[in-house]
Amino acid sequence: MKTIVLKQRPVGTPTLSDFELINSDMDLNPNKGELVLETTYVSVDPYLRGRMSDAKSYVPPFEVGKPLSSGIVAKVTASQNDHFKEGDYVVGMLDWKTKQISNGEGLLKVDGDKAPLSAYLGVLGMTGLTAYLGLTEIGKPKAGETLVVSGAAGAVGSVVGQIGKILGLNVVGIAGTDEKVEMLKSDFKFDHAINYNSTEDMGAALKKACPNGIDIYFDNVGGAISDAVLFNINRFARMIICGAISVYNSTEIPNSISVQPFLIKNSALMQGFIVSNYSDKFPQAMQQLATWLAEEKLSYSETIVEGFDSTPQAFLDLFEGKNKGKMIVKA
């Protein structure tokens, strides 16, 4: 059995030396009410970076020397719990272990016949819910409006843009490579896409891509890209502040422009978003995402990394933009 623990808190950009892989021989025998789980897929997510530091946040920090955890799809290999039987697959927040005991709390059964098991970590999981609920609850989209999404080729962003198209919006994506830009336009039918790494003046590029201005901004990255968006927002624009990956590894307070004048003169809304605040809406949102998927109105991309031991590297690769769509480790 293997476990990945946080060896030390990263300073700045995390490195492999911040993680430790521990091998152990242990028989896992479930007591009454418990089940044994074997990890199938591990989700790596940018927000885990926040939990690696000990700053106060909306979720408690990981503890040094203890296993990390994230969304995991696992197979039930033994069960003394009435709600789960051997052979079931479940998804839940679980430890970075190849095998573990659970009491079943917080686990949801998933059906590999309805959708590939990995999809329950992406489009039918936390990142799909984030895309749908962030866009609809805060963005309040109306057909004909212009939506800009940053981190557009990632797990959340690629679904945001596609939902925008389903709802009749003009959709502009921002991503880090020409290959990603091409994917957004050809696979996901975005109206425009901009490679921020090869664009000198993001403000001008956005002006050109959004001749009618920006009504909704779904922000996954923060920093200079989001500053450029502010110069192009319309009156009553809505900005969903979902993520800020460009500053997650900063060791100094980022040097950003002052947002207040842009908000005031445009009567614009900027709201922080945390998906777990909307848990009462998860069943309806899941249903909608599954329906669009079945109708082939929605598709998704995944980057699957092989081998449980590669989990830390897959996490680090998120900050290098090595994923297209959801980054997942196949254990």
Which residue ranges make up the site for ligand NDP (CB under 6 A)?
A: 45-47, 127, 130, 151, 153-157, 175-177, 180, 220-221, 242-246, 273-275, 318-319, 321, 323, 327
Q: Bridge-partner residues for 43, per DSSP?
A: 328
Contact between residue 98 and residue 4 where contact means Cβ atoms under 8 Å apart = no
State which residue, 115 or 175, has the beta carbon closest to ligand NDP.
Answer: 175
Q: Please state whether 65 falls in left (phi above 0), alpha (psi between -120 and 50) or beta.
A: left
Query: Rounded to an integer, what distance in angstroms lies between the CA atom of residue 223 and that of residue 69?
Result: 27
State which residue, 123 or 214, has the beta carbon closest to ligand NDP.
Answer: 123
Residue 195 Cβ vs ligand NDP, minimum distance, rounded to whole Å:
8
The CB-nearest residue to ligand NDP is: 154
Residue 317 Cβ vs ligand NDP, minimum distance, rounded to whole Å:
8
State which residue, 194 or 237, has the beta carbon closest to ligand NDP.
Answer: 194
Q: Bridge-partner residues for 329, per DSSP?
A: 42, 305
Nearest to 241 by CA among 202, 210, 279, 274: 274
State which residue, 3 or 158, has the beta carbon closest to ligand NDP.
Answer: 158
Residue 306 Cβ vs ligand NDP, minimum distance, rounded to whole Å:
18
State which residue, 76 or 123, has the beta carbon closest to ligand NDP.
Answer: 123
Tell me the DSSP string of 102-139. Answer: E--TT-EEE-TTTS-GGGGGTTTSHHHHHHHHIIIIII
Q: In this structure, how many other beta carbons lie within 10 angstroms of the beta carbon of residue 251?
A: 7
Query: Rounded to an integer, what distance in angstroms lies between the CA atom of residue 84 and that of residue 109?
Result: 8
Angle at the Cα of 209 from the Cα atoms of 204 and 215, rounded to 5 degrees: 100
Residue 98 Cβ vs ligand NDP, minimum distance, rounded to whole Å:
23
DSSP, collapsed to helix, strand or coil, labels residue 79 as strand
Residue 44 Cβ vs ligand NDP, minimum distance, rounded to whole Å:
9
Residue 322 Cβ vs ligand NDP, minimum distance, rounded to whole Å:
7
Contact between residue 238 and residue 138 where contact means Cβ atoms under 8 Å apart = yes
State which residue, 104 or 154, has the beta carbon closest to ligand NDP.
Answer: 154
Query: Rounded to an integer, what distance in angstroms lies between the CA atom of residue 111 and that of residue 132?
Result: 21
Residue 274 Cβ vs ligand NDP, minimum distance, rounded to whole Å:
4
State which residue, 51 or 99, has the beta carbon closest to ligand NDP.
Answer: 51
